[in-house]
Chain A
């Protein structure tokens, strides 16, 4: 296990346990939990709360032939799918499923300033993308209209709040304006999800925003 310092919030873990997060955020949560036993255990705790809520929600009588129908479902089912193989690259399995492979399979598109992205296809009001930031380069200074989750998969970045290495997730909201800068050394690859467009604080990126929908 890597040494992860920055974890998911309780709100995100509870929302994921309840199944109410937008798909883009669920992907960041599932990817972080794949890398982080601390959040895996915290998530299991919120799932235990869900189990208790479900058991107390009040029973509704099942149809008379329900058990027989279920046995028929079992008899007609395809054999259980084989356990998925574990990821050996830098993308944990849930992310690999969205990309169609590991980092070699990413179809990067330039967004200017050396930064590249691939938007992943998800339903709902939030969006999620992979970002490739060359070592030492910055993402333009911006603020947030909603929540932004940024999970590091390779390299590292820093802003005025802290340093974020592999497995770390930064949870930013309306209160934070920042200029994330990729650390020297390895290029930074991260998974970033937002439920509202970012607010870029300079003229040029605002034009870029129209075209690339950051």
Chain B
């Protein structure tokens, strides 16, 4: 199909809070070239038809998580969605649902970031001195790394939140991204924050309103699989509630290699600035 296509039609949902009472759709025809992504098309629309069109994007390679939007009814990254894979010459683009619209295709992701922050998505340990002024590295085996590595690929684009049916009606639900990231840290062998996060996760900030519709994992552009993280987290929390969970100590410092010196001529690392 894409070999013979010369033009595509973009249907874009516009909203300017200073001018419009409600969002409205506009259509634009732009030339198509093989290999064009939805994001490339948006730039073309901006160049040829709608210079005021607003969206958020940066890396254009599926890493920064800025260009999450609703593409033909499905949340995804504009930069890693090929127009040819949509199977149609009509590209309908709207801002990610379940977030307020700042303007045109720009969603207000702050509630998600706030829910993320509340669940303490960072390594928590009692040995504050070692954490703040490290003398070495915490030990972690490759097997232990695999327990959370998949979840650490999250780029916080918000696609999962836009696809989640619970989050569609319930803003008090933490949502797939914050919950998935809480599990990412809970399952990190260097972390000792399970008890602190559990205080929140046992209550309404927890995973209890996830009913495995599976949408978050289906739309995640990074294969992070938040639904898997949430179900694994439920098991840990239920075991903990039933007092059947074995408490784990966060891993200690890795042994420093012995008998290895600095080669001549290699300068010392500069003093830490942070």
- A, B in one complex: no
**Chain A residues engaging chain B, CB cutoff 8 angstroms:** none
